[in-house]
């Protein structure tokens, strides 16, 4: 006899529960997927074709993955308050010079204090004295204490060998993959003692072969001494990279990993920055 009112209230609370669950799922999805990325893009130089292809791909990826990108061609207006709007800084081949002092200080703070993540491609390690600018020493240290030495101007293909296959940036990638038409920068020393290397290039695989070699030649790495999740990917010269599934997967993984808020990892008891 009293089953009726109980039933009615059970139905109401069930319906409310479903509504609540739906709302929670929607907000959880927005929280985990949505972030703002700043893209500092090098324009109009030898990398124009690559940068154009990268921006097209980034726009499509941002739509698909529910994040936003703002593209800048100069770092002139960057300061701490400006960078605070972004959870990810993508350095799309823009070199580590032509930055004013305020922009440099803001970037250093962003990386050292982990105010957001960083993905740097190719020309981002053009470290040395170029175009009348001195080397940015802090940036050189960030990249493992290196200075740019040489590159394969005629471009060759090479086989990249994954090292830390458990790292989220290498998820879904084969243990080796070929990158075509790359310049394969070399440096005055190996960054390996100062960074965590995620992948290297097998120089014996170069087609055609080249004498411009490093021996042990890291091409993807992260500096775990910085609070920011950061990853440098040496490959990034030729626009055909955005027809290469392995390369697209690597950059995509790197973006999603670097954009994640490290403080959330701490909240769930993870201490290793390599976890995802």
Which residues contact Zn ion by CB under 5 A?
A: 183, 237
Nearest distance, CB of residue 89 and Zn ion, angstroms:
20
Nearest distance, CB of residue 137 and Zn ion, angstroms:
23
Q: Which residue in 60, 116, 52 sits closest to 88, CA to CA?
A: 116
> Given the complex with Zn ion, which of 183 and 203 has the nearer CB atom?
183
Are 125 and 140 within 8 A, CB to CB? no
The DSSP bridge partners found for residue 150 are 186
Nearest distance, CB of residue 156 and Zn ion, angstroms:
13
> Given the complex with Zn ion, which of 152 and 259 has the nearer CB atom?
152
Nearest distance, CB of residue 87 and Zn ion, angstroms:
28
> Given the complex with Zn ion, which of 90 and 111 has the nearer CB atom?
90
Q: What number of residues does the chain have?
A: 276
SS (H, E, C) 158-207: EEEEECCCCCHHHCCCCCEEEEEEECCCEECCCCHHHCEEEEEEEEEEEE
Nearest distance, CB of residue 241 and Zn ion, angstroms:
11
> Given the complex with Zn ion, which of 46 and 68 has the nearer CB atom?
46
Tell me the residue nearest to Zn ion as measured from the CB. 237
> Given the complex with Zn ion, which of 142 and 151 has the nearer CB atom?
151
Q: Got the DSSP string for 209-236?
A: --S---SS-EEEEE-TTSSS-EEEE---
Burial class (CB in 10 A: 0-12, 13-18, 19+), 26: exposed
Are 239 and 56 within 8 A, CB to CB? no
Cα separation, 98 vs 133, in Å, equals 7
Nearest distance, CB of residue 158 and Zn ion, angstroms:
14
> Given the complex with Zn ion, which of 50 and 78 has the nearer CB atom?
50
């Amino acid at each position: 006899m009293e089953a009726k009112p109980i039933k009615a209230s059970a139905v109401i609370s069930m319906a409310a529960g479903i509504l609540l669950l739906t709302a929670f799922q929607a907000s959880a999805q927005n929280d985990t997927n949505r972030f703002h990325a700043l893209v500092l893009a090098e324009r109009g130089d030898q990398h124009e074709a690559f940068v154009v292809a990268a921006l097209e791909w980034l726009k499509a990826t941002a739509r698909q993955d529910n994040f936003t990108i703002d593209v800048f061609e100069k770092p002139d207006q960057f300061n701490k308050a400006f960078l605070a709007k972004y959870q990810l800084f993508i350095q799309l081949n823009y070199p580590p010079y032509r930055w004013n002092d305020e922009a440099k200080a803001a970037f250093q703070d962003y990386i050292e204090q982990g105010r957001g993540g960083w993905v740097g491609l190719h020309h981002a390690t053009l470290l040395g004295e170029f175009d009348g600018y001195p080397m940015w020493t802090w940036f050189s240290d960030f990249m493992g204490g290196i200075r740019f030495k040489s590159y394969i101007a005629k471009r060759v293909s090479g086989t990249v060998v994954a090292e830390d296959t458990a790292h989220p940036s290498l998820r879904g990638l084969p243990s080796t993959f070929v990158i075509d038409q790359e310049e394969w920068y070399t440096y005055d020393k190996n960054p390996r003692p100062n960074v965590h290397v995620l992948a290297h290039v097998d120089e014996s695989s170069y087609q055609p072969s080249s004498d411009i070699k490093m021996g042990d030649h890291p091409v993807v790495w992260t500096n775990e001494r910085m609070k920011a999740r950061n990853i440098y990917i040496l490959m990034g010269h030729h626009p055909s990279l955005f027809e290469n599934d392995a390369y697209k997967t690597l950059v995509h993984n790197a973006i999603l990993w670097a954009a994640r808020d490290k403080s959330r990892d701490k909240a769930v008891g993870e201490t290793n920055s390599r976890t995802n």
